A and B are shown apart, each in its own frame.
Chain A
Amino acid sequence: MAGVTEADFLLAQRGTTQELGGWVVAAIFDRAGVLGFALADGTVRIGDITAEAHDGAILSACADAKGGFLTGGDDGRLVHTAPDGTVTEVAKFGSKWVDHVAAHESGIRAASVGKLAHVLDGTGKVLKSLPHPSSVGGLAFDAKGKRLAASHYGGASLWFVAAKEDKPKVLEWKGSHHAIAFSPDGTHVVTAMQETALHGWRLADGQHMRMSGYPGKTHSIAFTSRGRWLATSGAESVVLWPFFGGGPMGKAPTELAGGDEVLCSAVACHPQHEVVAAGFGDGLVLMAEVASGKVVPVAPPRGSAITSLAWNATGTRLAFGTEAGLAGFVDLSKR
């Protein structure tokens, strides 16, 4: 972002930042729009409130099913933190790490512990524990909360949450898979891999989609609101794969906001418009409109990589966090 002064960033006019002192694992807006930051020091920060959620590190976090925040820690616990900072243990899984969590507004939650993905109800009761051939690398519910996808070595497994008999649809692809996402319409599943590439499956016919060419590992993937584009980190620009017109097979991806020779480390798509927020390894945050390629600078590079980005449901606020513990948000609503 050469030639851009500090004052040009939205943060200067419309933003707030905080130094939280710990690695920001996730910036999260809960279902009611309350902003929280889950930190590797085991706390969830909500405004001035510090909730001591875990004895150890938070490894993953998401908006909980019915409000508040859901976190998994290296203390083997799955914890709910309410917007007022009240902490409730949802489940405890012994000495193993709770690596990944997911929740759906219907009231269902999932937490992976090693090779098992546990599905829990709103009360924290474990409804089922789904086994995988290796440790789970990522978890995602589809938009309706009917299916749960878990990535692992050799591919991904798709489970029907309410099935009487648990037999997964196994999506195979050689290699180790981590971050995973459903397309908003539930027709595709995409994973990020150990081998600086993505892999996707069209569920209707099992068609494979290979998306490669990244200089770094992709950690963050997100579909735009209507599922036309898949935004990804891992390159020196925001790489977007077209999921329309027969793509992404045989189509080149669109690249936005490149040129700084710093790897993109996190992406988040606007909930309504085809706008992508992207964070980079040097702390830069920007927004880019897919159609025009127009870029708006959000936060200047402060040296520490962006670990997480989140939009609120109406798309009026964008929050970010860094490895060094800087967290903040910008307010984009009309004044």
Chain B
Amino acid sequence: MADTPVPVTVLTGYLGAGKTTLLNRILSENHGKKFAVVINEFGELGVDNDLVVDADEEVFEMNNGCICCTVRGDLIRIIGGLMKRKGKFDGIIVETTGLADPAPVAQTFFADEDVKRATKLDAIVTVVDAKHLFARLDDSKEAQEQIAFADIIVLNKIDLVTPEEADAVERRIRGINPYAEIRRATKSDVPIEAVIGRDAFNLERILERDPEFLSGEDDHTHDDAVMSLSFEASRPLDPEKFNAWISDLLQKKGQDLLRTKGILSYANDDRRFAFQAVHMIADGDYIGNWKDGDPRRSKIVFIGRDLNRPQLRRGFEACQVPA
């Protein structure tokens, strides 16, 4: 059977940020699409949909010697069940609990072969409350991780803050994750196309979005434990050296590296190599040639905790072929 993978959108966000409102908005909008919805708490706000699966979050360690490789066992089971009804829905939306670490959810889509075959992670959407985000970031590791993992951030309840406050919140988000797209919203009113069908984990689209302030280096003004670093290399990379370096790095530092993305130019190769990792789980492939005239610069981005800038820079630059 020619299997088209079913897209999965992961919806995260702190309790009260407006996740369920966004979910209901997606479901009720007149788009002609059917979604299977996996939720983890039947909250006070009901979810209006034909196919709602009530899941108990069960985070499992994969018994493969990789300590940070955790997956959601319940999701593996539920997606297995849903796949038997393939064709009855166009996509799956997974809503996590407010306190959830998004890593096990994301890793499930790379670590389990059945899930990997049947589905593709479309995007991680994080809903944050503009009014309370500062407090959340100060007291919660999960709130930072939810932002770090996000492809799209819905900056909700924007009507409750002043324009200056909104800008400050946005700056703080950018300090953690400059690569996510931020959508300001009131009552989670973002267009459905902004959150569904994004294909954000497609290697072809990695780093397609340049952060708006790439030149402005250190925007890390707050002391959030989670930060992002990006590096560029002007000379082509030696693939063997890069592989050895990144494998070693992910092995040793994978627990602190939440997301890693890169577009690489290998020596004597006209093709672009795209690379991404969620903690230690990495995925990479060639994604077509460099455009004529475009500078062939390799670029890598790390979002994580306790990142040593000089060390990472030296490591990356040492992968270049000799000048």
Contact = CB atoms under 8 A, between A and B. Distances in A.
Interface in B213-266: none
Given A25-B84, A57-B81, A194-B76, A217 B114 contact: yes
B53 to A, nearest CB: 7
B81 A59 contact: yes
A210 to B, nearest CB: 11
Contacts of A304: 1
Given A216-B113, A217-B114, A135 B1 contact: no
Contacts of A193: 63
Contact of A217 (B1, B77, B113): B113
A176 B85 contact: no
B1 A74 contact: no
B46 to A, nearest CB: 12
Interface in A277-335: 303-305, 323-324
Contact of A153 (B54, B58, B78): B58
Interface in A41-76: 41, 57, 59, 74
Interface string B60-89: 111110000001011011100100111000
Contacts of B56: 114-115, 135
Nearest to A195: B63
A95 B64 CA distance: 34
Contact of B74 (A57, A74, A135, A196): A135
Q: How large is the interface on A (under 10, 10 to 19, 20 to 34, 35 or more residues)?
A: 20 to 34
B112 interface: yes
B54 A96 contact: yes
Contact of B63 (A23, A40, A114, A174): A174
Contact of B53 (A97, A115, A196): A97
Contacts of B112: 194
A207 to B, nearest CB: 19
Contacts of B84: 23, 25, 40, 57, 59
A187 B243 CA distance: 48
A236 interface: no
Nearest to B52: A95
Contacts of B71: 194
A174 B54 CA distance: 26
A96 B112 CA distance: 23
Contacts of B73: 134-135, 153, 176, 194
Nearest to B63: A175
Report the 5 A-B pairs with minimum CB-CB distance, sorted nearest first.
A40-B84, A175-B63, A23-B84, A195-B63, A57-B85
Given A194-B60, A217-B114, 15 more contacts: A57-B84, A57-B85, A59-B81, A95-B54, A97-B78, A115-B56, A135-B56, A153-B73, A174-B61, A175-B63, A176-B60, A195-B64, A196-B113, A305-B1, A323-B1
11 contacts: A23-B85, A99-B81, A174-B61, A176-B60, A176-B63, A176-B73, A194-B73, A303-B1, A305-B1, A323-B1, A324-B1
